[in-house]
């Protein structure tokens, strides 16, 4: 069956793209559009309607062609053919019209859309720019500033707003898009005038300093990124040179971005995130658990309230249980405050807030959670406390109830042993703040059943989060690796690097925050408590020495106004503290650590390569099913820069052989305690392999 078909309705031609699931612009679709337009003209059609079957107009490029040389006809050639058509061509838009789909629509002479449609240019999220005229046609319709905002944010806009600013010519209000599109096309044909071409329009002039000011405005949120600057240059060209020259420059910038490591990294994440949310090898996708409608959350603290709010927001009934009446009151107040904030920002309607709070109950009685389909424990990070909670849940909950722990580090198998149903126990490690962070580590224990894993993945998807299935060990994937990263940042302090120097080097490299600022934000006492739970800490007095010293001195971070940095009242800005620097020097002297000047390159390499080394061990042990899963965890949970693709992809980009050689240098220089080379890293380093090609257990 052809993916593009032509039908004649009297003297009107209807060209329908039918390439499920999202009508992507594959080579067959592109060729089919050109052929259909040729045939429509040959048949003497007065006008052409371009529409799509299924749930959406063209939602973008065919992802199977990403990174491959494009096959003719290229999309610019398809658009040029439509523009050259002597009869009006109307795009009939529904669903999500994104990227190349919107460029195709802008190449048509007119656009009609249902009010629920959305349009946009998300290419920046893949390190790309609109490369088929989008940077030139959009400014001609909406002006330079609005076009830049749309393309650099990557966020789609609704059809009503698109019509208001001129992207859409008419809204189809009757509910029959094709019928209204055909009527619109006949109207345009009846006038006998030459069809309007967006390329013939001019861009409204801007103030002389506009582009300079715009670059300053976006500098912080586009730090280190390549494609936003290329988009700005293309829109500049739209005002400065003829459109054919501007289109040539756009295409040049597009291919420059496509060939860049940044786009490679972002495209890697695009695929890795889609792979990560699928059942891991060995887990049957057909396994089905109980339908989840009622969720219980144990613990009304910040994390429990955030999880409860997330569940309420997608329609679950939620019961929050806590042993303390005052704690329950605080938890309810937190949830109410989150709803109030959502309403104030226009993210949640008052009706939805009222509905959500209407599905919330609180209790101190375990009997209130007896009939929950899923229980998520979010109590203090103590094995003894969690064992008590799970033993109690095992006694009161239905036999088919799934019992999930929000532990960030503790042994899920040991927690499961507190119950008589280990096959129903799983880890669901939410990240704080739970209502904002996208990541959930789904921790499978030795006995966790396939149906429970499938249910946890479905829950994450419904919560609009990225659920990544990982194995059970201390810290799982994210926090286990964090110890390598944090360990090096702590050792670097003793060796001579100041906290602000370490944080500055890693932020400049691309991390969202430096490790010491993150520690202060999270609370230094959190990590301190976790380390007290561990029995496998290295026999090294330097290990997290400064973090321990600060906690024991009452400096817990932002919440006490002092941590690794100090904080002035009402300010979140970290201020270097000479007292901390003197304490670091004192501790280094007591430990016999010789202090020296340390450059930014060593700081970055030791911290990031520390991540990679631990990631290699995690892959060796089968804790992660794929190197891409590790990348998804670190990008979505720990502020690793998306444009570097995650630690394992970054290693592949640098070259695993180069990483291996540098780690060997660190081992020889600092000793094998932390820099012993994992077998996988050595094997790949010697063979020229990549982490992306490694399959645990293969």
Q: What is the set of active-site residues? A: 103, 123
Largest CA distance in the chain: 92
Q: Three-state DSSP class for 198?
A: helix
- Number of neighbours of residue 604 by Cβ within 10 angstroms: 17
CA distances, 537 to each of 409, 487, 619, 673 (Å)? 13, 12, 21, 12
Question: What's the count of helices (H) and strands (E) in the chain, helices before strands?
Answer: 29, 17
Cis omega (within 30 of 0) for bond into 73: yes
Pairing of strands 110-113, 170-171: parallel
Helix (H) or strand (E) holding 57: none
Helix, coil or strand: residue 441: strand
428 within 8 A of 310, measured Cβ to Cβ: no
CA distances from 596 to 493, 599, 609 (A): 10, 10, 21
The residue written with tokens 């257990």 in the block is: 697
* DSSP assignments along 643-664, one per residue: GGT-HHHHHHHH-HHHHHHHHH
Buried b (16+ CB within 10 A) or exposed e, 229-250: bbbbbbbbbbbeeebeebbebb
DSSP 522-538: H-HHHHHHHHHH-S---
**325-344 helix and 350-358 helix, angle to the nearest 10 degrees:** 160
Return all residues near 208 (Cβ < 8 A) that are at least 6 apart.
none
CA 196 vs. chain centroid, Å, equals: 39
CA pair distance 150, 154, nearest whole angstrom? 6
**Alpha carbon distances (Å) from 151 to 125, 163, 297, 399, 588:** 10, 17, 40, 51, 50
Cα–Cα distance, 309 to 357 (Å, whole number): 9
Paired residues of 441 in beta bridges: 429, 468
Assign 3-class secondary structure to 566-611.
Answer: ECCCCCCCCECCHHHHHHHHHHHHHHCCCCCCCCHHHHHHHHHHHH
Cβ atoms within 10 Å of 387's Cβ, excluding its own: 17
638 vs 514: CA distance, rounded Å: 11
Alpha-carbon gap, residue 611 to 613, rounded angstroms: 6
Phi/psi at 293 (nearest 5 deg)?
-125, -25
The full length of the chain comes to 698
Sign for the pseudo-dihedral over CA of 29, 34, 35, 37: positive
Q: Name 133's Cβ contacts closer than 8 Å, sequence gap at least 6.
A: 76, 79, 103, 106, 107, 199, 247, 250
Q: Which residue has the tokens 């806590």?
A: 322
């Amino acid at each position: 069956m052809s993916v593009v078909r032509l039908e004649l309705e009297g003297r009107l031609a209807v060209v329908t793209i039918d390439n499920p699931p999202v009508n992507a612009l594959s080579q067959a679709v592109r060729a089919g559009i050109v052929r259909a337009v040729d045939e429509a003209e040959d048949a003497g059609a007065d006008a052409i309607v371009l529409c799509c079957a299924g749930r959406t107009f063209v939602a973008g490029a065919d992802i199977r062609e990403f990174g491959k040389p494009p096959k003719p006809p290229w999309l610019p050639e398809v658009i040029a053919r439509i523009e050259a058509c002597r009869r009006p061509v109307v795009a009939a838009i529904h669903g999500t019209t994104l990227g190349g789909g919107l460029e195709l629509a802008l190449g048509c002479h007119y656009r009609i859309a249902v009010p629920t449609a959305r349009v946009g240019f998300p290419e920046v999220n893949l390190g790309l720019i609109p490369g088929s005229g989008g940077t030139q046609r959009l400014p001609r319709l909406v002006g330079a500033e609005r076009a830049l905002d749309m393309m650099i944010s990557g966020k789609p806009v609704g059809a009503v707003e698109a019509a208001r600013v001129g992207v859409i010519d008419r809204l189809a209000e009757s509910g029959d898009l094709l019928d209204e599109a055909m009527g619109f096309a006949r109207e345009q044909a009846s006038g006998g005038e030459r069809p309007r071409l967006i390329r013939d329009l001019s861009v409204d002039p801007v103030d002389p300093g506009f582009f300079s000011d715009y670059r300053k405005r976006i500098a912080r949120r586009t730090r280190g990124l390549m494609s936003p600057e290329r988009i700005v240059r293309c829109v500049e060209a739209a005002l400065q040179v003829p459109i054919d020259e501007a289109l040539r420059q756009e295409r040049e910038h597009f291919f420059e971005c496509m060939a860049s490591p940044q786009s490679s990294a972002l495209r890697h994440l695009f695929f890795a995130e889609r792979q990560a949310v699928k059942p891991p090898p060995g887990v049957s996708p057909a396994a089905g658990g109980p339908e989840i409608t009622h969720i219980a959350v144990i613990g009304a603290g910040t994390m429990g309230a955030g999880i409860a709010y997330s569940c309420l927001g997608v329609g679950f009934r939620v019961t929050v249980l806590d042993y303390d009446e005052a704690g329950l009151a605080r938890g309810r107040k937190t949830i109410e405050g989150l709803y109030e904030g959502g309403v104030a920002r226009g993210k949640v309607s008052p009706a939805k807030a009222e509905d959500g709070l209407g599905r919330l109950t609180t209790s101190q009685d375990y009997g209130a959670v007896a009939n929950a389909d899923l229980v998520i424990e979010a109590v203090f990070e103590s094995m003894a406390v969690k064992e008590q909670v799970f033993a109690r849940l095992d006694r009161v909950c239905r036999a088919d109830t799934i019992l999930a722990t929000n532990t960030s580090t503790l042994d899920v198998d040991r927690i499961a042993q507190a119950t008589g149903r280990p096959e129903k126990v799983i880890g669901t490690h939410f990240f704080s703040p739970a209502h904002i962070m996208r990541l959930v580590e789904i921790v499978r224990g030795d006995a966790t059943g396939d149906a429970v894993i499938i249910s946890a993945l479905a829950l994450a998807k419904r919560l609009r989060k990225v659920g990544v299935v990982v194995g059970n060990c201390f810290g799982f994937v994210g926090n286990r690796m964090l110890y390598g990263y944090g360990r090096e940042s702590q050792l670097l302090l003793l060796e001579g690097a100041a906290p602000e120097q370490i944080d500055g080097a890693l932020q400049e490299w691309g991390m969202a925050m430096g490790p010491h600022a993150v520690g202060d934000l999270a609370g230094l006492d959190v990590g301190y408590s976790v380390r007290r739970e561990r029995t496998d800490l290295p026999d090294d007095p330097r290990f997290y020495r400064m973090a321990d010293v600060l906690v024991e001195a009452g400096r817990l971070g932002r919440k006490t106004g002092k941590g690794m940095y100090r904080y002035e009242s009402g300010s979140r800005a970290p201020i270097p503290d000479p007292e901390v620097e003197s304490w670091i020097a004192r501790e280094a002297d007591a430990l016999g650590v010789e202090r020296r000047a340390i450059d930014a390159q060593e700081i970055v390499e030791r911290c990031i390569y520390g991540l990679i080394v631990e990631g290699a061990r995690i892959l060796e042990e089968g804790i992660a099913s794929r190197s891409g899963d590790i990348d998804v965890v670190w990008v979505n949970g720990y502020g690793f820069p998306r444009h570097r693709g995650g630690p394992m992809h970054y290693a592949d980009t640098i070259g695993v052989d180069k990483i291996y050689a540098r780690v060997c240098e660190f081992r020889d220089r600092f000793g094998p305690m932390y820099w012993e080379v994992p077998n996988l890293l050595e094997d790949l380093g010697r063979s020229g392999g990549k982490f992306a090609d490694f399959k645990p257990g293969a």
